[in-house]
Amino acid sequence: MQRIPTFSKGGVHPDDRKVYSRSAAIERLPMPSELIVALSQHLGAPAKALKAKGDTVMKGEKIGEASGFISSDVHSPVSGSIKEIRKVTLANSVQCDAFVIVPDEVQPADPEETVDWQSLDGSELLSSIKDMGIVGMGGATFPAHVKFSIPKDKKVDSFVVNGVECEPYLTADYRIMLEKGEQALEGAMIVAKIVKAERVIVGVEMNKPDCIDHLKEIVKEKGYPIEIVGLKMKYPQGDEKQLLKAILNREIPSGKLPLDVGAVVSNIGTCNAIYEAIVLKKSLYERVISVTGECIANPKNVLAPVGTKMSDLLDFCGGFSKEPEKLISGGPMMGFSFFDTETPMTKGSSGLLALGAQKKYRSTACLNCGRCVAACPIALMPAKLYRYISNGEYEEAMNTSLMDCKECGCCAYVCPAHLPLVHTMKTGKKLGRKKK
């Protein structure tokens, strides 16, 4: 029997709970009464505001300009007027300025003219990706034009597309692969041209057999030199380190990037956004988000403008079937818990989860059982790092590879003492950086 590829160290197998929304085709959200478009919805420096209160904006117009090397432009998702500019707190606790935009009653249609990307060279394609504000859609929101700018001393032989979506509940990427697979694969070919990759490989977990078959049919029909690889179901296989180990059997050394082992990794949703940016000249002002969980009346995958308030998404899905105990932006393993439904979604908002009553646990002393070590996909020692950080020994924690922690939550998931391991790692990183 042929072995199904996966990464070798650690990992866990949580119930995927995708049944709530996996059969829900993508639906477009009716235009909200107002949008809150944040200037910091990407990794790096916030964008610089290009508009003021009272200004009118056009759909797709640049309203925020990248303010550093690692930063990204922000575009208006609608035509309308800027009601105000105010401070907001995003689901990930980042505080930044945001445009409050009131949409016009009549919105312009998306342009129908397409661009022949094959006539453009890599630098032109890369410039367009930057101008359209494309960032990683899997949650990290790293500016795509920075990731795809390959230094002259580096060579990329493989472009790996992440179609794993291993976080429980989330099905946005799943629906994109089924409904927009042709565009996403063409977007992957565009990236391959930019980074000059010899191989293009799409990794999809085996709990999505219909996606695997569908993508293989497209590849065959279009004649794309793309490999579709089915992967064993294991979290956090969507992380680039684990994905490269599973598909290419390459390990990224501590402190290094996929580029250092000759690869570039990008999410399937990002590839779809790149297709739209290059071929349709559409800036990144809307995305698909899974609104799901036990407490959502009608779970859906929603195509919504960036800046949509969580309350508008909840209303579109029929509100709550029962009172949720927790709201999460993203997935339950690496997402962010929040309480204010006026919080706006961003380019990186892959999910809005409303979860029911959670079983309560009391933390006890570490049992020294080693389960966290066995579960860690980076082969760290979470219990040891926990002790260092809890005792204020931040330098020791940093010297014990704390910065390699991916904050995936595997250690906390298996801990029988129910220690707040992930939260402690995050705190340790912040305080450890300050001590340096």
pLDDT of residue 434: 79
Q: Is 372 annotated as a binding residue?
A: yes
Q: Is 410 annotated as a binding residue?
A: no
CA 245 – CA 241 distance, rounded (Å): 6
pLDDT of residue 2: 62
Residue-range domains of the chain with CATH = 1-29+114-358 (3.40.50.11540), 371-435 (no CATH)
Q: Is 369 annotated as a binding residue?
A: yes
**pLDDT tens digits, 418-431:** 999 999 999 999 99
What single DSSP character describes residue 319? Answer: S
CA 288 – CA 172 distance, rounded (Å): 6
The pLDDT of 129-149, averaged and rounded, is 95
Exposure letters 379-399 (e unless 16+ CB within 10 A, then b): ebbbbebbebbeeebbebbbe
Q: Is 411 annotated as a binding residue?
A: yes
CA count, 13 A, side-chain hemisphere, 8:
6
The pLDDT of 190-197, averaged and rounded, is 97
What's the predicted TM-score (pTM) here? 0.95
Q: Is 317 annotated as a binding residue?
A: no
Mean per-residue pLDDT over the chain, rounded? 95
> pLDDT class for 1, splitting at 50, 70, 90?
very low
The pLDDT of 98-124, averaged and rounded, is 93
CA count, 13 A, side-chain hemisphere, 375:
24
- 308 within 8 A of 317, measured Cβ to Cβ: no
pLDDT of residue 272: 98
**pLDDT tens digits, 365-399:** 999 999 999 999 999 999 999 999 999 999 999 99
Say yes or no to pLDDT of 233 above 90: yes
pLDDT of residue 358: 85
CA-wise closest residue to 265 among 131, 421, 142? 142
> pLDDT class for 110, splitting at 50, 70, 90?
confident
Which two three-digit tokens encode residue 20?
Answer: 């709530």
CA 33 – CA 101 distance, rounded (Å): 9
Q: Residue 134: helix, strand or coil by DSSP?
A: coil
CA 34 – CA 308 distance, rounded (Å): 8
Say yes or no to pLDDT of 436 above 80: no
Say yes or no to pLDDT of 111 above 80: no
CA 328 – CA 169 distance, rounded (Å): 11
